Amino acid sequence: MIRPTIRVKRILTAGTAVCLSALVLAACSSSSTSTPAVKRSSAPASMTVYMVTHACPSDAFWPPVFNGAQDAASALGVDLHIIRFTSAQCGSIPAEVSNLETAIDAHPGGIITTIPSATAFSSALHKAASESIPVIAVNTVPHDNSQSVNPYLAYVGQSNYQAGIGAGNEAISEFHLAKGATVAIVDHEPFNISLTSREQGIESAFNSAGVKYTIVNTTDNPSAGASTVQAFITVHPTVTTYLSLGTTGTTQIVTALQQVGKLKKINVGGFDLDSATLHYIQQGEVRFTVDQQPFLQGYDSVEELYLLHQYGVAPENISTGPAYLTAENIASVGKYVNETGF
């Protein structure tokens, strides 16, 4: 069983040290009782930052990312503008590119953006670079990205390909998958290159072990996606293991299994954490999920731009995952899930 590692990140803001744990927010309690809490800035905003993502309103993964960004902005006196998708825009790469162009046209002090396509964001990112607008990529970037294609200063998130390899190996170990076994991988965002990277990582682990796999493409719509998975289960009754690539897919799998009376009779694992996934793991309906600390993705992205603006500190890549959560270790983090995602 792969255990999650506890990462403690020390953040210095205006002389205040804040301790954030990847798994236990109380990790700062006994050893740092003399450390003062973050003082919210009442001064005028020192800079303006725009945040652009592919987050659908129905996706429970994203609120912790936004919470982290907003907490950092409040602590540091940053004027944060989050350009949000409408439900009608879900899954639209052109819509996010358009939002990124809107952010660039505002000439802010910095931009935070996801990059869920290998090439679609290239022109906008080059425009930001030509106008000396610093860009931090968050959560999603192309695997083995070239700066000549998609220029940005740093990436805050996990390597989704490596997380996929880990998830594949976790599934092999947790579910005792033998050579020749077949696993269904549910992809609720086929357009999203980060999920494609996870999928490719899982496939690499499975290929090494001789495990077969098939891809079930759904959508961000929870009910429509569940219907697609249910139809697949009906046609492929011998598939006994399902992996999701995100919390939306996890809920679609669990809902479909409930509908056909196979819940807890089929192996289920997935990615990311929300209150629904927490419940599924606690009830034994899902065996594991791969966590990437979304709160830190939002917080650290804003902080990097602030430190660059205020002190000239060059942004660096920050790895926020993966960590592997099971019924054995999820209790300590469950109470924070809605705010922080870990």
DSSP codes of every residue in 252-302: HHHHHHHHTT-TTTSEEEEE---HHHHHHHHTTS--EEEE--HHHHHHHHH
Pair of tokens at residue 293: 């600390």
Residue given tokens 């070239």 in the structure block: 146
Separation between Cα atoms, residue 226 and residue 24, nearest integer Å: 33
Q: 295, 339 in Cβ contact below 8 A?
A: yes
Share of the chain above pLDDT 70, in %: 85
* Phi–psi pair at 99, nearest 5 degrees: -65, -40
Q: Mean pLDDT across the stretch 109-132? A: 98
Q: How far apart are CA 180 and CA 176, in angstroms?
A: 12
Q: So what's the pLDDT on residue 167?
A: 98
By three-state DSSP, how is residue 241 classified?
strand
What is the band of 46 on the pLDDT scale with cuts at 50, 70, 90? Answer: confident
Rounded average pLDDT over 266-288: 96
Tell me the C-alpha distance between 150 and 122, whole Å.
Answer: 5
State the pLDDT at residue 45.
Answer: 55
The domains spanning 45-158+293-321 and 160-291 adopt the same CATH topology: yes
**Thinking of the domain 45-158+293-321, which architecture would CATH place it in?**
3-Layer(aba) Sandwich (3.40)
Contacts of 58 (CB under 8 A, 6+ apart): 87, 90, 220, 221, 222, 248
Task: Return the ∠ at Cα 177 (arms to 171 and 183), rounded to 5°.
Answer: 70
For residue 251, the model assigns a pLDDT of: 97
User: 3-class DSSP state for residue 131?
Assistant: coil
Residue 48: CB atoms within 10 A of its CB come to: 19
Q: How confident is the model at residue 27 (pLDDT cuts 50, 70, 90)?
A: very low
pTM of the model: 0.84
Count CB-CB contacts under 10 A for residue 299.
29
* Domain chopping of the chain, boundaries: 45-158+293-321, 160-291
Please report the pLDDT score of residue 162 as a whole number.
Answer: 97
- Asked whether residue 43 carries a pLDDT value surpassing 70, the answer given is no
**Highest CATH level, class, for 160-291:** alpha beta
